């Protein structure tokens, strides 16, 4: 058995480090690209959303390199994400592609079946699962913090040579992270990055803060959102995502044991107080939460035809009106052009910056 998995931000680093540490044969798919998308579009149903097409492209590219088993994280609720694994398997069988799909979910809340699937991949090493989950969450949290700190560092660099130095350093660091031999090594690399680039300089009053919300795949995978956070940093804008890999892992494991609502849930409750599938509740909740903290703008990103995010989009104008914070919605699919996307982001940032300057001048 040779495992593969989808790309989604730093998730591939975590899985690669885990499999190397446990001695499990695997093949990491090539980075997401136009070719990946073309492969997915060729085999996916026409009405499938962008995440499905790219993930399918990941799997098929890895299969050509020798993978025979693909891991996918299941879903639930009124979102097609929950059907992806079955659809992937059906597509592979229809086209005669020798690839087995394993969905890491608990069907009908059957934890034993989930453990059996994990054991199918890891064998006797599955007994270490609680320890590995804890170490994985620590590594994911360190990675998320490191990426945020490195991204923030760009906001304080004025000279072009300094920015180029950071860019070269970041490229080298990412290569090391991709090849990490264990979760512990990956966590140490992340801590090193955080220590190297952490800044104690105070944030200037005119610094614009924008929150990024939306579908998990669209805001975590840079290929899908056209490197949105990098673009915002180039425009000297501070940004944060509503969902990160570590936050997602915590929500799926530790958070389920806690009955206490998070701050974003409390703030978003009056607008949407129940889960409607996908990450719509987080989209509305974080938009309200960041707006209550007087952030300057919100950008929602989601794939065309994503039902939960369409519902969330219909609620966001009420959030914007209540707090007086502008919200931009970006819908992406395989036909989205980067030039038009860039123009909309730049226009929104220009508007937010002018608004910020007027507020400071009062």
Read off the CATH number of the domain in which 275 is found: 3.40.50.11900
Residue 13 confidence (pLDDT) above 70: yes
Q: How confident is the prediction for the chain on average, in pLDDT?
A: 91
Q: What pLDDT is stored for residue 45 in this prediction?
A: 92
Report residue 249's pLDDT band, with 50, 70 and 90 as the boundaries: confident
Residue ending a domain, choose from 72, 99, 129: 129
Same domain? 112 vs 222: no
Q: Is residue 159 part of a domain?
A: no
Same domain? 267 vs 350: yes
The parent domain of residue 41 ranges over: 3-129
**How far, in Å, are 204, 205, 211, 296, 318 from residue 359 at the CA level?**
14, 11, 19, 10, 22
Same domain? 221 vs 119: no
Q: Is residue 317 part of a domain?
A: yes
Calculate helix-pair angle for 34-43, 50-64, nearest 10 degrees.
Answer: 100
Residue 42 confidence (pLDDT) above 80: yes
Q: Is residue 140 part of a domain?
A: no
Pairing of strands 208-214, 237-241: parallel
Q: What pLDDT is stored for residue 227 in this prediction?
A: 96
> Ramachandran region of residue 108, left (φ > 0), alpha (ψ -120 to 50) or beta?
left
Reported as a single tens digit per residue, the pLDDT across 343-353 is: 999 999 999 99
Same domain? 212 vs 358: yes
Q: Is residue 173 part of a domain?
A: no
Q: Is residue 197 part of a domain?
A: no
Residue ending a domain, choose from 129, 157, 173: 129
Q: What pLDDT is stored for residue 75 in this prediction?
A: 55
Residue ending a domain, choose from 97, 129, 161: 129
> pTM higher than 0.75 for the full model?
yes
Residue 43 confidence (pLDDT) above 70: yes
Residue scoring higher pLDDT (128 or 278):
278
Residue 108 confidence (pLDDT) above 60: no
For the ranges 79-88, 105-114, 326-335, which has the lowest average pLDDT?
105-114
Average pLDDT over every residue of 265-275: 95
Q: Could you tell me if 264 and 288 are in contact, meaning their C-beta atoms sit under 8 angstroms apart?
A: yes
Q: What is the tally of structural domains in the chain?
A: 2
């Amino acid at each position: 058995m040779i495992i593969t998995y989808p790309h989604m931000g730093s998730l591939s680093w975590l899985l690669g480090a885990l499999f190397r540490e446990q001695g499990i044969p695997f093949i990491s798919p090539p980075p997401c690209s136009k070719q990946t998308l073309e492969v997915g579009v060729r085999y996916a149903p026409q009405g499938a959303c962008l995440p499905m097409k790219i993930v399918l492209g990941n799997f098929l590219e890895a299969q050509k390199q020798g993978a025979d088993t693909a891991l996918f994280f299941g879903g639930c609720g009124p979102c097609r994400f929950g059907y992806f694994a079955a659809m992937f398997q059906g597509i592979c069988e229809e086209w005669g592609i020798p690839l087995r799909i394993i969905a890491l979910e608990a069907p009908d809340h059957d934890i034993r079946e989930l453990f059996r699937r994990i054991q199918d991949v890891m064998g006797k090493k599955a007994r270490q699962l609680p320890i590995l989950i804890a170490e994985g969450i620590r590594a994911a949290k360190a990675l998320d913090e490191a990426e945020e700190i490195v991204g923030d560092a760009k906001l304080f660099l004025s000279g072009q040579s300094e920015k180029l130095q950071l860019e070269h350093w970041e490229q080298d660091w990412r290569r090391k992270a991709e090849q990490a031999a264990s979760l512990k090594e990956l966590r140490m690399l992340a801590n090193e990055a955080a220590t190297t680039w952490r800044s104690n300089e105070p944030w200037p009053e005119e610094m614009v803060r924008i929150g990024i919300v939306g579908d998990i795949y669209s805001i975590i995978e840079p290929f899908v959102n056209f490197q949105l956070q990098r673009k915002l940093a180039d425009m000297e804008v501070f940004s944060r995502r509503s969902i990160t890999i570590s936050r997602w892992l915590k929500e799926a494991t530790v958070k389920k044991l806690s009955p206490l609502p998070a701050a974003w849930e409390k703030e978003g409750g009056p607008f949407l107080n129940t889960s409607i599938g996908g990450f719509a509740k987080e989209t509305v909740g974080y938009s309200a939460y960041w707006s209550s903290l007087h952030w300057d703008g919100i950008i929602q990103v989601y794939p065309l035809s994503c039902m939960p995010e369409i519902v969330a989009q219909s609620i966001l104008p009420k959030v914007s009106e209540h707090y007086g914070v502008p919200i931009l919605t970006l819908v992406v699919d395989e036909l989205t052009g980067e030039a038009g996307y860039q123009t909309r982001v730049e226009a929104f940032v220009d508007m937010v910056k002018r608004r910020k300057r007027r507020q400071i001048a009062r």
